[in-house]
Amino acid sequence: MNNNKLPTVNVIGAGLAGCEAAWQLARRGVNVRLYEQKPNKKSAAHNSNLFAELVCSNSLKANRIASAAGMLKQELRLMHSLLITCADECSVPAGGALAVNREQFAQKVTDAIMQHPNITVVAEEIQEIPTDEVTIIATGPLTSDALSKSIAKSFNNSLYFYDAAAPIVSAESVDMEYAFYASRYDNGGETDYLNCPLNKAEYEEFYEAIISAQRAHLHSADESLHKVYEGCMPIEVLATRGKDTMRFGPMKPVGLVNPKTGHRPWAALQLRKEDAAGTMFNLVGFQTNLKFGEQQRVFGLIPALKNAEFLRFGVMHRNTFLDSPRVLNSSYKVKADIPLFFAGQITGVEGYVESISSGLMAGVNAYKLIAGQPLVTLPPQTMTGALSRYISDEFVKDFQPMGANLGVLPMLQEQIRDKRQRAEALAQRGLEILQRDFAELL
């Protein structure tokens, strides 16, 4: 189908998100110009001339629907995602995960894009944001310097070039036998903070563990990241500067009284709401470069976090992403009055399938914009909708990228203790709502 009455849409970047966005537009009869700088220019991470190149793992994570990644993939299957279809057709044995033969996957996606009559591929680097045509920018975490400068200039420098994030835990996994809500000096208004106290013995055990914990490798060639690394002090580096440095820094107990003891704790970690719904909490001041397993072990020594479910581990690495809550709506369109969308990891969704999800929704909404229809955001009970709402949630002040996890979904009305049964109920709820209320997308 080709609808010549609709204007052509530009899609910049033929990665996972860009290819999905272009496909969703093309299958709705829209002419698409897909700009890709390869083969003329490649980033440091890319080798192949094919589209949708998987530069890291070949796994798209868990396939079972009763998981965050599996739920998201099933939503995308229902919405006729090209890339998930290609992944299913190129799958290789990987236990419960959907893993692909990456060469076959990239070739299959490339062939589908190149052969679609509504898509014209242009091998060209775009250095400035087009302002006079509907455009989707899906250039990923390694966006070129020239386009990055154009984006930063257009959106008041709301573009970050590194990822220095503290861990995030699910609210329901914090042990309230130990944690307590309180504001410093009993000063009201800080109800978004939850305090995790430690006595002297607990703090000293935590200190010994964190100074000896294994850290993730940081590439020495990346000088800009090393500068950021010093500027955003990892908690484990701070700890090595003296036994009490954490107690005078992010774990200072000053102004706090534990209502369970009536005394000030020896040290206290503060948790801050990560989303408006209060389903996730951020470990304040705990930017870290520890290995993921070490984060679980060491931070689990804090009594209130002994059974914590980590929705995102702390990371420190190069990345390019927007301060999306200030820039984007949940439709992936910019808040400014221009016909511009973003998709992929540049929006702050993290992961292969999450990028595909954002590309699908950006493509759908770019079509709706030129067709004069209301833009659509899926409900928060779906993983697709929950992610788009998280990256556009103005409540989130210190924005960091987020992958699919069950913690971004609204809690169930009934309490289910068994994790697998709870995941199954969450997935069933979201998929039922998608199929019932959004038949137009299916």
The predicted-structure confidence for 302-348, as pLDDT tens digits, reads as follows: 999 999 999 989 987 777 899 999 999 999 999 999 999 999 999 99
pLDDT tens string 372-384: 999 999 999 999 9
The predicted model gives 391-408 an average pLDDT of 90
Prediction pTM value: 0.81
What's the pLDDT band for 398 if we cut at 50, 70, 90? confident
Q: Which of 90-104, 250-264, 364-378 has the highest mean pLDDT?
A: 364-378
What's the pLDDT band for 218 if we cut at 50, 70, 90? low
What's the pLDDT band for 191 if we cut at 50, 70, 90? low
What's the pLDDT band for 226 if we cut at 50, 70, 90? very low
What's the pLDDT band for 231 if we cut at 50, 70, 90? low
The predicted model gives 216-243 an average pLDDT of 68
pLDDT of residue 277: 82
What's the pLDDT band for 44 if we cut at 50, 70, 90? low
**Domains of the chain by start residue, with CATH:** 9-163+317-441 (3.50.50.60), 168-313 (2.40.30)
Higher pLDDT, 273 or 361: 361
pLDDT of residue 1: 59
pLDDT of residue 221: 41
Three-class SS of the chain: CCCCCCCCEEEECCCHHHHHHHHHHHCCCCCEEEEECCCCCCCCCCCCCCCCCCCCCCEEEECCCCCHHHHHHHHHHHCCCHHHHHHHHCEECCCCEEEECHHHHHHHHHHHHHHCCCEEEEECCCCCCCCCCCEEECCCCCCCHHHHHHHHHHCCCCEEEEEEECCEEEHHHCCCCCCEECCHHHCCCCCCEEEEEECHHHHHHHHHHHHHCCECCCCCCCHHHHHHHHHCCCHHHHHCCCCCCCCCCCCCCCCCCECCCCECCCEEEEEEECCCCCCEEEECCCCCCECHHHHHHHHCCCHHHCCCCEEECCEEEEEEEECHHHHECCCCEECCCCCEEECCHHHCECCHHHHHHHHHHHHHHHHHHHCCCCCCCCCCCCHHHHHHHHCCCCCCCCCCCECCCHHHCCCCCCCCCCHHHHHHHHHHHHHHHHHHHCHHHC
Higher pLDDT, 68 or 228: 68
pLDDT of residue 223: 46
Would you say residue 108 has pLDDT above 50? Answer: yes
Would you say residue 225 has pLDDT above 60? Answer: no
pLDDT of residue 220: 46
The predicted model gives 211-240 an average pLDDT of 70
What's the pLDDT band for 352 if we cut at 50, 70, 90? very high
What's the pLDDT band for 276 if we cut at 50, 70, 90? confident
pLDDT of residue 48: 81
The predicted model gives 76-88 an average pLDDT of 97
Would you say residue 182 has pLDDT above 70? Answer: yes
Would you say residue 227 has pLDDT above 60? Answer: no
Mean pLDDT in the chain?
90
pLDDT of residue 332: 98
Would you say residue 229 has pLDDT above 70? Answer: no
Would you say residue 228 has pLDDT above 70? Answer: no
In this structure, of 221-230, 245-254, 332-341, the range with the lowest mean pLDDT score is 221-230
Higher pLDDT, 92 or 327: 327
In this structure, of 44-48, 140-144, 218-222, the range with the lowest mean pLDDT score is 218-222
What's the pLDDT band for 3 if we cut at 50, 70, 90? low
pLDDT of residue 186: 65
